Structure 1
Amino acid sequence: MRLAIMQPYFFPYIGYFQLVAAVDRFVFYDDVNYIKNGWINRNRVLAGAGDRYITVPLSGASPSAKIRDVPMQPREVWLRKMLESLRHTYAKAPHYPRVSALVERSLSAPTDHISTLASQTVVDVCQYLDIDTEFVATSTQYGNAELKSTDRVLDICAKERARVYVNLPGGRALYDEATFHSNDIELAFIQPNLSAYAQFEHAFRPGLSILDVLMFNTPDRVRAMLSTEPSR
């Protein structure tokens, strides 16, 4: 079985979904410390010839808080504004009606915490694209929060009986291949593919939220864009 572990991100970029599509089970790393100014509660979307952030405002977020424990501000503070902002940018995009319905449904998930909401955005996009990867959160499954870094990853792999642990390129600086090999686990990586596609009449801006990809491409086309084979 192939396994990946990542923090839950808010409508993340296509590379995150290429990782999801490359594994059998995807683990949301939700009981580690919150990272300020990361991708847990925000992402970038198109803005004319440039880009801008869409952000879920939080209450009491700090580097000492676990992601799963960080609450969002009430939806009446931000939801309508975010939906209107997306409508203003993407109303003329070819797949806006379906994708805007996806966004509204995803952001209405019954939770007050950003970890659950961010995870839900990933799960809902995968359902939209018919990606059948299984999802689980570290806070609900493994009982090993006392372990750190590689030791925890190896323990999760052992409990899942995973034979391949798949990473984005940043994992190369974190993990030692020999350590995984000694535990009978192959360490593999995918290289994100940020293929260009039409974004109205502007020059292509890569690495935006998956929402941008969905607005301009059919589900079949996006699934083809997600096909990335891991390598060592």
Structure 2
Amino acid sequence: MLFNPATTPRMKTIAIMQPYFLPYLGYFQLIAAVDKFVVLDDVNYIRGGWINRNRMLMNGAPHLFTLPLRGASQNRRICDLAVMEDNGWRDKLLRSISQAYGRAPYYTQVIALLETMLHFPNLQLDQFLLNSLQKSMQYLDLNTELGPTSRAYGNDALAGDQRIIDICIREGASDYINPIGGTGLYRHEDFQQHGIALHFLKSRPSSYSQGKHPHTAGLSILDVMMHNAPATIGQLLIEKDLL
């Protein structure tokens, strides 16, 4: 059964997404487009997905970097996993990033930010990712309200879109925004019957200088931050369409 909300006006736009480590620009466009962003952290971890890895630009080509986990399994939830204790991986990752971006115009600011993320003392994956998301949002001057854990709703027995709709109802949402990749997962009429408008966010093609290399799209926000001032990134965050 879906939660039965109080009869209050709905004037809130929300998004609900799994947490990722330094996700791509479109993830932050989604955050910038809503009043509240709910972190979906009690769903199964996806091995080979983007929860704990992303891509940076190294020698002109995309290079994968990974946040190492203890006991990663698709049978375990994101909130039940942990980042590996330090066995040198932090220093190795920082060296790789320094090699890739040491001459980038905003290297000094961004590498300092990254160091604070990587040395966050709580190794629980959900908390580690939440902290990196909060730090990124602060750097980008994004003031969207964060719902730090989907466990707060106690509705994980609901499946798929029913759970998303339930969270929308509980939040008094008038609008729900999902990335364009969700067009095959959600139907407008399922949301409309609860008074909620469903939208899909589509990023516009954007380009920025990556030094001497031709532009490579779809990299981690790390690449965007290394090459652009926060104010410039603020302009990139609005280069999107709601369908």
TM-score, normalized by the shorter chain, greater than 0.5 = yes
Aligned length: 232
SS of residue in 1 equivalent to 2:231: helix
Q: Which of 58, 63, 67 is the equivalent residue of 1:47?
A: 58
SS of residue in 2 equivalent to 1:130: coil
Q: Distance in 2 between matches of 1:155 and 1:69?
A: 23
Structure 2 equivalent of residue 120 of structure 1: 131
Could you say if the C-alpha distance between residues 193 and 130 of structure 1 is closer, same or farther in structure 2, counting changes exceeding 3 Å? same
Q: Distance in 2 between matches of 1:31 and 1:220?
A: 34
Q: Which of 212, 216, 227 is the equivalent residue of 2:223?
A: 212
Structure 2 equivalent of residue 10 of structure 1: 21
User: What do residues 82-120 of structure 1 show as CA deviations (whole Å, max 9, x unaligned)?
Assistant: 111111111110000000011111122221122222222
SS of residue in 1 equivalent to 2:198: strand
Structure 1 equivalent of residue 47 of structure 2: 36
Amino acid at match of 1:116: Q
Q: Which of 80, 84, 87 is the equivalent residue of 2:95?
A: 84
Assess if the C-alpha contact under 8 Å between 2:45 and 2:72 holds in 1: yes
Q: Distance in 2 between matches of 1:136 and 1:163?
A: 17
Root-mean-square deviation over aligned CA pairs:
1.2
Structure 2 equivalent of residue 231 of structure 1: 242
Q: Given the two structures, how large is their TM-score scaled by the length of structure 1?
A: 0.96
User: What do residues 1-52 of structure 1 show as CA deviations (whole Å, max 9, x unaligned)?
Assistant: 1100110001000010000100011011100000001111111000112011
Q: Which of 36, 45, 49 is the equivalent residue of 1:25?
A: 36
Q: Distance in 2 between matches of 1:191 and 1:139?
A: 24
Higher mean Cα deviation, 139-148 or 157-166? 139-148
Q: Given the two structures, how large is their TM-score scaled by the length of structure 2?
A: 0.92
Assess if the C-alpha contact under 8 Å between 2:110 and 2:225 holds in 1: yes
Q: Distance in 2 between matches of 1:174 and 1:217?
A: 34
Structure 2 equivalent of residue 68 of structure 1: 79
Assess if the C-alpha contact under 8 Å between 1:40 and 1:114 holds in 2: no
Higher mean Cα deviation, 133-142 or 102-111? 133-142
Assess if the C-alpha contact under 8 Å between 1:58 and 1:71 holds in 2: yes
Amino acid at match of 1:24: D
Q: Which of 166, 171, 178 is the equivalent residue of 2:177?
A: 166
Matched, 1:108 2:123: no
Assess if the C-alpha contact under 8 Å between 2:55 and 2:63 holds in 1: yes
Deviation at 1:77, TM superposition (A): 3.3
SS of residue in 1 equivalent to 2:203: coil
Higher mean Cα deviation, 91-100 or 192-201? 192-201
Unaligned stretches of 5+ residues in structure 1: none
SS of residue in 2 equivalent to 1:76: coil
Q: % of aligned pairs identical?
A: 43
Q: Distance in 2 between matches of 1:135 and 1:89?
A: 31
User: What do residues 58-79 of structure 1 show as CA deviations (whole Å, max 9, x unaligned)?
Assistant: 1111111001111111123311
Unaligned stretches of 5+ residues in structure 2: 1-11
Deviation at 1:140, TM superposition (A): 4.0
SS of residue in 2 equivalent to 1:201: coil
Higher mean Cα deviation, 115-124 or 48-57? 115-124
Q: Distance in 2 between matches of 1:38 and 1:229?
A: 24
User: Higher strand fraction: Structure 1 or Structure 2?
Assistant: 2
